[in-house]
Amino acid sequence: MKFIILIGPPGAGKGTQAKLLEQSLGLPQVSTGDLFRYNLKNETELGKLARTYMDKGELVPDAVTVAMVKDRLASADAAGGAILDGFPRTQAQADALDQLLEQLGGRITVVPNLVVDREELVQRLLARAQIEGRADDTEDTIRTRMRVYEEQTKPLLDYYQQRGLVVNVDGLQSREAVQQALRRVIEQAA
C-alpha cells in the first residue's frame, strides 16, 4: 500500500492535482474536506460528533478527523493506497497517520510539496472566490488561512523532510506541467 501526501498552501492546486492523479494512478483521493461533507450530509456518528463542535464554533478535534480518515482508508478502493489531500495538517495528525498506516501495512512513499509564491496564491484565491461567489473569501480571511498554514502545516515539511520524503514541485507551472511533474516524482519514489 502506497500513500502519497500532497502538501502545499491554500490555493496551490492540491485538490485539482489530486483528482487528476486519482484518474491517472487509480488511487483514490482522500480529502478531509470531502470526508467532512460526506459525514455531515449523511449524518454518520462521526458527522454528528463533528457537528457538535462546529455548532459551537470550535475546531473539530484531531481524533474525530483521524477516525474519518481511518474509516475511508478501510474502504476497498483504498486497498492499494491513496492520495491524501488536506491530511495531515498538524503534527498530531501526522503521528496518528503513522500509527494508522502501520496498522494497515502501508507506508508513505512520497510527499510532493506544491510551491507557489504567497502573493500569487492570494491573487488565485481572490479570483476563485469571485468566480465561485465565495463572499467569505476576502483578502483578510485568505491571509489568515495562509498564516494558519505557515504555523500548523508547514512544520510537517520538516518532519517529512527528515524522513527523505519531501520533493518540491513548482506549482506556478501550467496545470498539465504540474501534473507531469507530480507523476514523475511519484513514479521515481515507487
Residue among 71, 112, 110 at smallest CA distance from 189 = 110
Is 134 a known active-site residue? Answer: yes
Is 143 a known active-site residue? Answer: no
Q: Look-up: residue for cell 502519497?
A: 4
Catalytic-role residue among 2, 51, 70, 89: 89
Is 145 a known active-site residue? Answer: yes
Catalytic-role residue among 19, 48, 118, 134: 134
Residue 55, judged by CB atoms within 10 A of its CB (0-12, 13-18, 19+), counts as exposed
DSSP 8-state assignment for residue 12:
S
User: How far apart, in whole angstroms, are the C-alpha atoms of residue 15 and residue 7?
Assistant: 10
Is 37 a known active-site residue? Answer: no
Mapped onto helix, strand or coil, the DSSP state of residue 158 is helix
Is 118 a known active-site residue? Answer: no
Distances (CA, A) of 85 to 45, 69, 103, 111, 113: 23, 11, 20, 11, 11
Is 109 within 8 Å of 190 (Cβ atoms)? yes
Residue among 169, 180, 173, 175 at smallest CA distance from 6 = 169
Catalytic-role residue among 2, 145, 154, 183: 145
Catalytic-role residue among 70, 128, 154, 183: 128
Catalytically annotated residues: 14, 89, 128, 134, 145
